Structure 1
């Protein structure tokens, strides 16, 4: 079909001239400038394609200058329709639709992040983005305001800058459209969780629209009667100029969470548990509903984002986008975690487990401005899609210390019958003046280009250069003198990252590619917290950035009349300079060594097999090994923790008619090793690994009328007992939910 744009006058000529100057400064060809001066937009031909459930044609990032079919990188897109079909309420649940991602619990539960991921063998918790801008904060991210989740795997320094060894996860927010609509859902989960969401869009004037997404949830986590969760979310957005060359969006998101924190349960008695003592080694496991916390434990999270985005068409094939974001999140948590098992007698009824009181009081702030220009043009007989931009970013994390003496002392809990009403002694929560305040400021510039050499060959490349500056101010309290001692540590430098891909198209619907990408991770990348130079860890400012490289050979095909996308990739990722060593204590000289290699295969399928039958599936293998290391978990020959050799996921749905559909899925997670040192003995290691598991889910939906549909989700159909996460010592685990049902009423107008 043909769409003719209405005639319009570019009234803000000075702004246009400034934009053109910016284009020139960023290296755009001047041949496109004359087109931007036209007062009437040229006729544009658009081929309308039918929307395919689960399948996305492109990612939202303007840095990805080609459709997914022609992008030489493994990228998974999880659309909102799939999230709704599965009844997922969090990003963690949505990410079950892509293999190769695992979750971590941390040591003693005192992790500062709600969502803690590992992807392809490397940490990804600091590589979570919202609308292309890095997202900070200790918050379990909600799905009610998400249009789609995009997962880019492999080193992505050219895309997102420092600390991108694993890749990144980008959450795309819902924004207004000119189509009036209203939708709501109300869910009731077996066990007592109640959740409601609303999504309302209204247009106004000739080009404006307003959208409001809201969410409220209350109830206990299924499988533990003590873990109460309360969440509220509000995401208003407004847009002007929709359907015109200049579009302005103003949107925000506000989350409030009031939770009972989960300290996990002892891993004793679980399959694979090992202890030198025969009695403990053969002891039964504890009741999954046990809670070892103390009444009054709490976790409160406030998270706010405010964003302004402007899109301006400089010419029919040239668009400038400027985005400004301010964000702030705060976590305040006091929880009681389990620690050491004790057997005072031979009677298991008197066995105990000691408990530790832990605290997190942390605030994260972010201020960002990004400017991007995407232009399509022909130069030298080759077709280019060029994306260039500048990013300004300020990230800050402030953590206050509550002394352990103020948190109180919790008595040991009975191993099999803990009492949440046990009395605390000496509980007077207060800050002692100690703190850590880390801040990173970044100025980055990038350019990406897809060059179409002919109908069969394409080149895809990108370059990012950035200047970062990280500083950490801290104060510690001397327990003997009761005097605070302050310190200031800083680190700055320049980083350059690249990506390059050569792509061959045997047909219009297929591609074969070979790609290279790298990333660099300087000290303090995860939380802006630099360590003293005497500390042998990755946050020592005396260290140089770790270097990660990736080579990927892959192929992508759209089959069955472009309704089903098939992907396959072989990859090898290498991380160097991971392990620091002090080589001269007098001159404080450090050396870095170490090489960790992760390689494997990833296969995927997403789309429709028939008009009624939809599917999304993936399988990934990971072979991890330290090729050059030190000792212990970093010894040569050791594997990477929490990296299953095989993981797989599949979800499929069949629409029988306009009113009835069924669906279901299978998730397989291979063994996730905690004990990875090939020379370590098994004695006293608690759980050496998370055993492999397979979980089956099911769904059925029935449309009562044109406005109301009922959906029943049954999770863990065969009631599989499995460990979801394990702490670093292997003594404490959180479990996957047992079999339960969720009934949802979906309303649309």
Structure 2
């Protein structure tokens, strides 16, 4: 049994991948430090293995990953830096089964919107173990590692988490002095700079500063751009003593040009009832159908306080509290259907556009108190975790009338300087039709116990109970309250696992876990009877059964994992097929598949992280029986590997495969009778090279989509528009370690 002993005393040397945000700084770099953790029977040295992690950051998880009966993938900052991934979604490309969503019809999704194993993950994102609900595009400049936990995660995180959850672990202060920076230049135009400085300011205290500044054009798209800056500060006192306190804050400001996508005309599978349109040529992937006045402003701010104490009685206590605030203000020109007044003359075809405005603010307070202790009962050894959580999540969303009279665009030659028929920023035309306020309060208690029966058998048990309350109000543009809804629910989730260790460095396991998704879990309620967010609707339930093996090879340097999983999403709220307006909780959806992973060092010079996942998604009852869910590929895979040719030269690269993602879910009959029925399968290959100029400076080259594959990254639910995958592009990065 490889349970963690005194992990809070571990000597942490953090790799600093920092940035010089000031333009006057000539060189920026990324440097790595070791992070040593000593486990009973397992020794981890991050400096010796930059890809493989043996533990996760959460104190709720008392076991090494090899003794954790579930699929867990850790994406470390070293991989993020090598790939020059700048956003959370770019980093998650290292996880198979992640698919992106574009939104409904002319609308475009905001922030990190994606699915994992066929389920929406918008409300299953955590930062340092606390739920992060804000609509935001998360940046990587302050990320230590990303922990992807798959399978129903209700016992760990509470409501939702049908497919699992993702925890972002941020950079913290340590007693090891270090500084590094990088500056990156992009072939499509733009640059990004980051700096990371950690400084001990006493025997037991330290300060860490991370900065980011960027102005990056989107590869393969005209006008679309990401601009912003970020600041993160972390202070620690009492480090490497029995009582420790960490205070950290982060602020991120983005001012982007949003992208409504392009028409799907001409792509393989496209259909239109008019023959000439059906056979029409593709539009240029670079075409921008928006306006030069479109914008997207995002602000994210948070303050986190963490207190840790080691009691003499052998109890490890942590309390983490965070306040966060996120705001989004966006004006977007949406893209809709084709009008071919003269089908024989494509130069006259137009694309309908709508002018849209979105305003949203969210404020959240989270607190979790966690206790960990170990004790024996006869021959049984226990690692017990129990704790309490509280969260208060407030959102304020303004909904504005879409200005559908906006001038249509020429399909093949759009003009972003077109004078729009309406200007959403003007009070007379940007009519507020409604705004909503919601307040979700959740109180939770949980208990987990890991029981060792000798050296070979481990039993994992856990239960969590949530009591939540949602208050939801809607208002008309004249401030008249039009609805005042409430929901109160108590839900429970469970997990259990049995693990056998044939050897110290291997395990075989079977596990069972549940999650519950009640109405209003995303902060929205409805008075409509046929609506999943009606307060009287019973919660949907998820059960996940998993059986797998884990094996650490080459003295623990290379981790091999494999698992079979079956997820049943039951008690779905579905409408009867006779369309009489009656709906009830009887839907049943089943997802089965396999997942394999390989992470770590094959030799001293060769490192790899790779994964492959299959997914068979079928509606068993309710809805269209036998159909699959949208955006659920049967096969997906990711791969990244590097090899050190010498002390100065490192080469590598990777590939991503995504199977077909269906939009049209019909089991029988013809495919979709309009637009694109699915996202076709695709491969994307990337390349990497690094050369050490000096012991402290290195030059890095990343080439993305090396084969210049023409593919669809996202498709809207109506199939009329898409986001094209980025064409071949390159990034040159100068890394410097001070």
TM-score relative to the length of structure 2: 0.91
Q: What is the CA-CA distance between 1:297 and the residue it aligns to?
A: 0.7
Q: What is the CA-CA distance between 1:461 and the residue it aligns to?
A: 1.2
Q: Structure 1 pair 416/316, CA: closer, same or farther in 2 (3 Å)?
A: farther
Give the secondary-structure state (helix, strand or coil) at the position aligned to 2:502: coil
Aligned equivalents of 2:209 and 2:136: distance in 1? Answer: 21
Summarize deviations over 1:613-669 as a string: whole Å, max 9, x none.
000110000000000013xxxx00100110000000111100122211001101000
Equivalent residues of 2:101, 2:109 under 8 A apart: no
Does 1:745 pair with 2:734? Answer: yes
Q: What is the CA-CA distance between 1:579 and the residue it aligns to?
A: 2.6
Q: CA RMSD in A?
A: 2.1
Summarize deviations over 1:315-335 as a string: whole Å, max 9, x none.
374210001100000000010
Does 1:523 pair with 2:519? Answer: yes
* Number of residue pairs matched by the alignment: 695
> For structure 2, which runs of at least 5 residues remain unmatched after alignment?
1-5, 7-37
Aligned equivalents of 2:169 and 2:616: distance in 1? Answer: 31
Where do 1:477-626 residues align within 5 Å? 484-526=480-522, 528-534=523-529, 536-581=530-575, 591-626=584-619
Give the secondary-structure state (helix, strand or coil) at the position aligned to 2:476: strand
The residue number in structure 2 matching 1:411 is 407
Summarize deviations over 1:654-692 as a string: whole Å, max 9, x none.
012221100110100000000112135335331100000
Summarize deviations over 1:381-417 as a string: whole Å, max 9, x none.
211111111001011111012233xx57311100000
The residue number in structure 2 matching 1:677 is 666
Q: Of 388, 391, 396, which residue of structure 1 is paired with 2:389?
A: 391
Moved more, 485-494 or 257-266: 485-494
Summarize deviations over 1:305-362 as a string: whole Å, max 9, x none.
1100001111374210001100000000010011110111121111001101112100
Aligned equivalents of 1:73 and 1:623: distance in 2? Answer: 19
The residue number in structure 1 matching 2:71 is 74
Equivalent residues of 2:308, 2:317 under 8 A apart: yes
Aligned equivalents of 2:385 and 2:225: distance in 1? Answer: 46
Aligned equivalents of 2:409 and 2:148: distance in 1? Answer: 42
Aligned equivalents of 1:386 and 1:614: distance in 2? Answer: 35
The residue number in structure 2 matching 1:366 is 364
The residue number in structure 2 matching 1:458 is 458
Q: Structure 1 pair 307/272, CA: closer, same or farther in 2 (3 Å)?
A: same
Does 1:440 pair with 2:435? Answer: no
Aligned equivalents of 1:488 and 1:585: distance in 2? Answer: 28
Aligned equivalents of 1:615 and 1:46: distance in 2? Answer: 24
Give the secondary-structure state (helix, strand or coil) at the position aligned to 2:45: coil
Equivalent residues of 2:295, 2:332 under 8 A apart: yes
The residue number in structure 2 matching 1:178 is 175
Give the secondary-structure state (helix, strand or coil) at the position aligned to 1:108: coil
The residue number in structure 2 matching 1:701 is 690
Q: What is the CA-CA distance between 1:228 and the residue it aligns to?
A: 1.9
Equivalent residues of 2:379, 2:454 under 8 A apart: no
Where do 1:334-349 residues align within 5 Å? 334-345=331-342, 346-349=344-347
Q: What is the CA-CA distance between 1:431 and the residue it aligns to?
A: 5.4
Equivalent residues of 1:65, 1:448 under 8 A apart: no
Does 1:166 pair with 2:163? Answer: yes
Summarize deviations over 1:4-35 as a string: whole Å, max 9, x none.
x9xxxxxxxxxxxxxxxxxxxxxxxxxxxxxx
Summarize deviations over 1:117-142 as a string: whole Å, max 9, x none.
11111111110110010112221110
The residue number in structure 1 matching 2:200 is 203
Q: Of 116, 129, 134, which residue of structure 2 is paired with 1:132?
A: 129
The residue number in structure 2 matching 1:14 is none
Where do 1:28-67 residues align within 5 Å? 49-51=44-46, 52-67=49-64
Aligned equivalents of 1:118 and 1:696: distance in 2? Answer: 22
The residue number in structure 1 matching 2:33 is none
Equivalent residues of 1:434, 1:484 under 8 A apart: no
Aligned equivalents of 1:342 and 1:585: distance in 2? Answer: 32
Equivalent residues of 1:201, 1:211 under 8 A apart: yes
Give the secondary-structure state (helix, strand or coil) at the position aligned to 1:191: coil
Q: What is the CA-CA distance between 1:589 and the residue it aligns to?
A: 8.4
Q: What is the CA-CA distance between 1:745 and the residue it aligns to?
A: 0.4
Aligned equivalents of 1:315 and 1:359: distance in 2? Answer: 57
The residue number in structure 2 matching 1:627 is 620
Where do 1:412-431 residues align within 5 Å? 412-427=408-423, 428-429=426-427, 430=430
Q: What is the CA-CA distance between 1:703 and the residue it aligns to?
A: 0.7
Aligned equivalents of 1:489 and 1:705: distance in 2? Answer: 64
Give the secondary-structure state (helix, strand or coil) at the position aligned to 1:236: strand
Equivalent residues of 2:44, 2:54 under 8 A apart: no
Aligned equivalents of 2:53 and 2:413: distance in 1? Answer: 50
Q: What is the CA-CA distance between 1:110 and the residue it aligns to?
A: 3.0
Equivalent residues of 1:638, 1:676 under 8 A apart: yes
Equivalent residues of 1:145, 1:235 under 8 A apart: yes
Q: What is the CA-CA distance between 1:539 and the residue it aligns to?
A: 1.0
The residue number in structure 1 matching 2:470 is 470
The residue number in structure 2 matching 1:10 is none
Q: What is the CA-CA distance between 1:537 and the residue it aligns to?
A: 2.2
Q: Structure 1 pair 386/683, CA: closer, same or farther in 2 (3 Å)?
A: closer
Moved more, 99-108 or 178-187: 99-108
Give the secondary-structure state (helix, strand or coil) at the position aligned to 2:289: coil
Where do 1:296-335 residues align within 5 Å? 296-315=293-312, 317-335=314-332
Does 1:644 pair with 2:595? Answer: no
Does 1:100 pair with 2:97? Answer: yes
Equivalent residues of 1:408, 1:424 under 8 A apart: no
Moved more, 131-140 or 181-190: 131-140
Aligned equivalents of 1:674 and 1:419: distance in 2? Answer: 30
Aligned equivalents of 2:40 and 2:123: distance in 1? Answer: 41
Equivalent residues of 1:275, 1:683 under 8 A apart: no
Aligned equivalents of 1:649 and 1:88: distance in 2? Answer: 15
Equivalent residues of 1:624, 1:639 under 8 A apart: yes
Equivalent residues of 1:410, 1:422 under 8 A apart: no
Aligned equivalents of 1:432 and 1:317: distance in 2? Answer: 58
Does 1:690 pair with 2:687? Answer: no
Summarize deviations over 1:560-609 as a string: whole Å, max 9, x none.
111100000000000012134489999x9862111000000000000000
The residue number in structure 2 matching 1:449 is 449
Equivalent residues of 2:355, 2:422 under 8 A apart: no
Equivalent residues of 1:223, 1:289 under 8 A apart: yes
Q: Structure 1 pair 48/616, CA: closer, same or farther in 2 (3 Å)?
A: closer
Equivalent residues of 1:237, 1:251 under 8 A apart: yes
